[in-house]
């Protein structure tokens, strides 16, 4: 899922009321739309505790059978293991390479930086299915279809734009003169990196890693195209959705929502500590 | 945010040389794993027979592909329109809320971003299916004699795409509305403009660039949708992405798949450039 421009302008004071064409209509549409937005989540969570094997809502009774079905199924275990493994390795790769590149882009003075940055952001703009087709053809020609290596690299590429964007902001907002002072005092690059820069950008670094992790963990289309017979959680959810209605999916969905909310909270906390997200202040168009 | 800090004297700091070495590892990986596959795809689209536009001709001349292309564009247009009609009032309403309520409303808008698209799509099966909430309610109220088919057709797909893409419309609008200088509105009022006039002549024009950019964003994101039409369309509403799945995974025709992907890519890049130009003007 792409990054919303959602870190923008959360706060602010009272606004002078302006008139809109029809207050009542606007209010009605707005509330109905909010309900519409939240509805899927409000439906799936109670459904996961249903005792019925059909999709009746509200659920006729309470049970944990769908959670038991998930935790008792070896194929789901394997899918979960694959998901975590691929997300962990690909996000680490994206974080390391992306942070290094962000440092070069922000502090460097070489030509073509804008072009190179555009190249790093490009995976965000190319539609997922186009990437899937391109990578499928490339992997089919090199024997990487269905391999862990292939999917890990593909997912790392997906995480790169998020890491580069986040870390560029973080590095730019860290005063370069502090690094220069350290250098003039005789510290070499590894020391400056470890003792000066890293401690200061650590929260953003963690946020970027989590971001890249989620991007990989949620990814379906490329996984569906290039991972062959192997499965990840989203891929298995998708294939079983296409075949039959299996309420086990609601249990996994609920677990995923829980994980998402926890990581979201972690990211918000980290970004605030990193000073990227301020309440009440107009962060403005970044 | 960072306008003043980027000036640097040559050789300042700890970069040995220009710093290009920091960028090279990622550049190398991207070149192999992203740029090369995209270029390979482009070359496949004009191969076999070599260097011909045969496959592009096929897309536009075969009724089936032309129809899928048209379905995709139609769904994207409809999604954009519905998102605009629902999103603008929502953003407007959020603007008028108290700061605390505004945060809660925005959280509700952003929340779906963090929930897998599969989960959100799945929920609509429960709501819209023949035995779903909507139909059982309508049947119980005696409003319809037999279940309405809302699922596994274009309507079902539209519900899904709008639900997923609404935040992309609402968030830029909320940001644009927050950026409007309140004094402009007060000035208009003090000059005797009525509320409706202020909205029509001052407020709305100021939000227009963000509104247009939001619509373009929704449009291009819908063009590439795969999950929603596959699940909520039940295979009966093929969009470009589903066609690509078929061409790659079922009846291998990579040249044609590459050509369709290229058409999709060009469409998306063109609209993206348009959107960037609009953002530039808005800033």
Q: What is the DSSP secondary-structure string of A218-280? A: H--HHHHHHSTT---HHHHHHHHHHH---THHHHHHHHHHHHHHHHHHHHHHHHHHTTS--SS
pLDDT of residue B39: 96
pLDDT digits (tens, 9 = 90+) for B187-215: 888 898 888 888 888 899 999 988 998 99
Residues 155-194 of A with CB under 8 A from B: 156-157, 160, 164, 169, 172-173, 175-176, 179-180, 182-183, 189, 192
pLDDT band at residue A4 under the 50/70/90 scheme: very low
Q: B215-237, pLDDT tens digit by residue?
A: 999 999 999 999 899 889 888 88
Q: For the residues B41-54, what does the mean pLDDT come to?
A: 88
Contact predicate B240/B221, CB 8 Å: no
Mean pLDDT for A48-59 is 80
Token code pair at residue A8: 């923008």
Sign of CA dihedral B79, B80, B85, B87: positive
Interchain CB contacts (distance < 8 Å): A and B: 348
The answer as to whether A24 is a domain residue is yes
pLDDT-above-90 percentage for chain A: 45
Gap between the terminal Cα atoms of chain A: 20
Class of domain B53-180+207-282: mainly alpha
CB–CB of A234 and B33 under 8 A? no
Q: Do A4 and B167 touch (CB under 8 A)?
A: yes
Q: What CATH number should be reported for the domain holding residue A155?
A: 1.10.3720.10
Which residues of chain A are within 8 Å of residue B221 when distances are taken between CB atoms? Answer: 2
Same domain flag for A90 and A218: yes
Q: B5: pLDDT confidence band, cut at 50, 70 and 90?
A: very low
Residue A190 lies in a domain: yes
For A180-207, what is each residue's pLDDT tens digit? 888 889 888 888 888 888 888 888 898 8
Closest-CA residue in chain B for A236? B118
Lowest-pLDDT range, A126-130, A264-268, A277-281, B182-186?
A277-281
CA distance B175 to chain A (A): 6
Q: What is the pLDDT of residue A16?
A: 56
- Do A108 and A38 share a structural domain? no
Parent domain of A25? 20-63
Chain A touched by B124 (CB under 8 Å): yes
Are A199 and A135 found together in one domain? yes
Cα separations (Å) of B129 from A33, A42, A46, B74, B150? Answer: 20, 17, 17, 23, 7
Residues A59 and A93 grouped into a single domain? no
Which of A199-213, A246-260, B113-127 shows the highest mean pLDDT?
Answer: A199-213
Q: Which of B105, B172, B195 sits opposite A34 (nearest CB)?
A: B105
Min Cα–Cα distance to chain A from B63, Å: 22
Residue A51's pLDDT band, with cuts at 50, 70 and 90, is: confident
Instruction: Output the average pLDDT for chain B.
Output: 87
Q: Which of A101, A88, A123 is nearest to B37 (CA)?
A: A123
A105 vs A262, more confident: A105
| Chain A closest-CA separation from residue B50 CA (Å) | 17
**Is the C-alpha dihedral spanning B196, B201, B202, B206 positive or negative?**
positive
pLDDT band (50, 70, 90) for residue B282: low
Residue B147 contacts residue B61 (beta carbons within 8 Å):
no
Query: What are the backbone angles phi and psi of residue A62, rounded to the nearest 5°?
Result: -95, 135
A54 shares its domain with A194: no
Q: What is the pLDDT of residue A282?
A: 37
Residues of A in contact with B86 (CB under 8 A): 29, 33, 36
Q: Do A41 and B112 touch (CB under 8 A)?
A: yes
Section A22-33 average pLDDT: 89
Does residue A192 sit in the same domain as residue A86? Answer: yes
Does any domain span residue A69? no
Peptide bond into B22 cis (omega under 30): no
Q: Is residue A86 part of a domain?
A: yes
Question: Which carries the bigger pLDDT value, residue B195 or residue A68?
Answer: A68
Q: What is the arithmetic mean of pLDDT over A34-61?
A: 84
- The two tokens of residue A5 are 């421009």
Of B211 and B6, the structure prediction assigns the larger pLDDT to: B211
Domain boundary among A34, A63, A92: A63
Domain ranges of chain B: 53-180+207-282
Contact of B110 with chain A, judged by CB distance below 8 Å, is answered with yes
Q: How confident is the model at residue A10 (pLDDT cuts 50, 70, 90)?
A: very low
Tell me if A34 and B240 make a contact (CB, 8 A cut-off). no
Mean of pLDDT values over A279-285: 38
The pLDDT value recorded for residue A285 is 35
The nearest alpha carbon in chain B to A169 belongs to B2
- Say what the pLDDT of residue A271 is: 75
- Report the range of poorest mean pLDDT among A68-82, A88-102, B54-68, B123-137: B123-137
Quick check: B122 and A250 CB within 8 A? yes
| Burial (Cβ within 10 Å: 0-12, 13-18, ≥19) of residue B64 | exposed
The per-residue pLDDT of chain A, averaged, comes to 84
A6/A232: higher pLDDT: A232
Residue B106 has pLDDT above 70, yes or no: yes
pLDDT at B11 over 70: no
Spell B239-259 as b/e; 16+ CB within 10 A means b. Answer: bbbbbbbebbeeeeebbbbbb
Write out pLDDT tens, residues B145-155. 888 888 889 99
Closest residue, chain A, to B249 (C-alpha):
A225
Confidence (pTM): 0.84
Residue B7 scores a pLDDT above 50: no
Which range in A75-79, B120-124, B131-135 is most confidently predicted, on average pLDDT? A75-79
Burial of A108 (0-12, 13-18, 19+ CB in 10 A): buried
- Residue that finishes a domain, picked among A32, A63, A94: A63
- Residue A247: how many CA atoms within 13 Å on its side-chain side? 23
Count of structural domains, chain A = 2
Which of B26, B99, B119 has the CB atom closest to A11's CB atom? B99
Shortest distance between the Cα of B75 and any Cα of chain A, in A, equals 16
Asked if pLDDT for residue B1 goes beyond 50, the answer is: no
- B 171-190 residues inside an 8 A Cβ radius of A: 171-172, 174-175, 178-179, 182, 185-186
pLDDT of B51 > 60? The answer is: yes
Of B22, B93, B118, Cβ closest to residue A27: B93
Q: Identify whether residues A143 and A244 lie together within a single domain.
A: yes
Nearest beta carbon to residue A286 from set B1, B227, B248: B1
Restricting to A residues 102-141, those with a Cβ less than 8 Å away from any Cβ of B are: 103-110, 116, 119-120, 122-123, 125-138, 141
Chain A residues touching B19 at Cβ < 8 A: 103-104, 107-110
Q: Is residue A201 part of a domain?
A: yes
In percent, the amount of chain B with pLDDT more than 70 equals 94
User: How far is residue B13's CA from residue A9's CA, in Å, rounded to a whole number?
Assistant: 34
Distance between CA atoms of A116 and A118, rounded to whole angstroms? 5
- Residue B127 is predicted with a pLDDT of 87
Predicted confidence at residue A264, as pLDDT, reads 74
Identify the weakest region by mean pLDDT among B13-17, B26-30, B76-80, B97-101.
B13-17
Q: Give the SS3 label for residue A144.
A: coil
CA distance A42 to chain B (A): 9
Q: What pLDDT was estimated at residue B163?
A: 94
Q: Do B167 and A37 touch (CB under 8 A)?
A: yes
The answer to whether B84 and B213 are in contact (CB under 8 A) is no
Task: Say yes or no to pLDDT of B6 above 50.
Answer: no
| Residues A215, A93 within the same domain | yes
The pLDDT value recorded for residue B278 is 79
Tell me which of B273 and B119 has the higher pLDDT.
B273
């Amino acid at each position: 899922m792409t990054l919303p421009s959602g870190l923008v302008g959360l706060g602010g004071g009272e606004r002078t009321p302006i008139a809109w064409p029809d207050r009542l209509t606007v209010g009605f549409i707005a509330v109905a739309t909010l309900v519409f937005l939240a509805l899927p989540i409000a439906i799936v969570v109670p459904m996961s505790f249903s005792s019925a094997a059909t999709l009746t809502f509200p659920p006729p009774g309470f049970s944990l059978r769908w959670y038991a079905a998930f935790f008792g199924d070896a194929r789901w275990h394997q899918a979960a293991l694959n998901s975590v493994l691929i997300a962990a390795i690909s996000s680490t790769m994206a974080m390391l390479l992306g942070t290094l590149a962000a440092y070069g882009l922000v502090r460097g003075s070489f030509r073509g930086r804008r072009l190179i940055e555009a190249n790093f952001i490009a995976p965000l703009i190319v539609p997922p299915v186009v990437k899937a087709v391109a990578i499928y053809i490339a992997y089919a020609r090199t024997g990487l279809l269905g391999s862990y290596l292939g999917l890990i690299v593909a997912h790392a590429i997906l995480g790169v734009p998020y890491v580069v964007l986040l870390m560029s902001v973080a590095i730019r907002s860290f005063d370069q003169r502090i690094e220069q002072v350290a250098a003039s005092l005789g510290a070499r690059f590894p020391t400056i990196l470890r003792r000066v820069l890293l401690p200061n950008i650590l929260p953003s670094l963690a946020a970027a890693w989590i971001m890249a992790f989620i991007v990989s963990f949620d990814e379906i289309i490329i996984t569906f195209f290039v991972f062959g017979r192997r499965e990840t959680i989203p891929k298995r959810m998708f294939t079983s959705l296409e075949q039959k209605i299996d309420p086990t999916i609601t249990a996994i969905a609920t677990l995923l929502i829980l994980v998402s909310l926890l990581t979201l909270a972690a990211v918000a906390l980290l970004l605030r500590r990193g000073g990227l997200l301020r309440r009440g202040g107009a962060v403005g168009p970044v | 945010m960072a306008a003043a800090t980027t000036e640097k004297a040559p050789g300042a700091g700890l970069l040995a040389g220009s710093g290009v070495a920091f960028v090279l590892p990622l550049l190398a990986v991207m070149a192999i794993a992203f740029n090369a596959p995209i270029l390979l795809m482009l070359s496949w689209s004009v191969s076999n027979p070599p260097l011909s536009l045969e496959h592009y001709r096929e897309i536009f001349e075969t009724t089936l592909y032309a129809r899928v292309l048209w379905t995709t564009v139609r769904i994207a247009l409809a999604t954009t329109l519905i998102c605009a009609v629902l999103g603008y009032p929502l953003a407007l309403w959020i603007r008028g809320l108290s700061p605390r309520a505004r945060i809660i409303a925005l959280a509700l808008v952003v929340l779906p971003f963090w929930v897998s698209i599969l989960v959100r799509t799945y929920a609509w099966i429960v709501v819209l299916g023949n035995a779903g909430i909507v139909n059982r309610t309508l049947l119980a109220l005696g409003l319809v004699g037999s279940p309405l088919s809302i699922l596994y057709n274009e309507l079902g797909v539209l519900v899904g795409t709008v639900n997923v893409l609404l935040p992309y419309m609402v968030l830029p609008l909320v940001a644009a509305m927050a950026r409007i200088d309140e004094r402009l509105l007060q000035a208009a009022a003090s000059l005797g403009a009525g509320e409706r006039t202020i909205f029509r002549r001052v407020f709305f024009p100021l939000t227009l660039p963000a509104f247009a950019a939001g619509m373009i964003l929704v449009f291009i994101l819908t063009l590439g949708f795969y999950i929603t039409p596959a699940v909520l369309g039940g295979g009966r509403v093929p969009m470009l992405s589903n066609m690509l799945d078929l061409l790659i995974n079922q009846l291998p025709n990579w040249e044609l798949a590459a050509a369709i992907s290229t058409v999709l890519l060009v469409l998306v890049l063109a609209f993206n450039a348009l959107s960037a130009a609009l953002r530039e003007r808005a800033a």
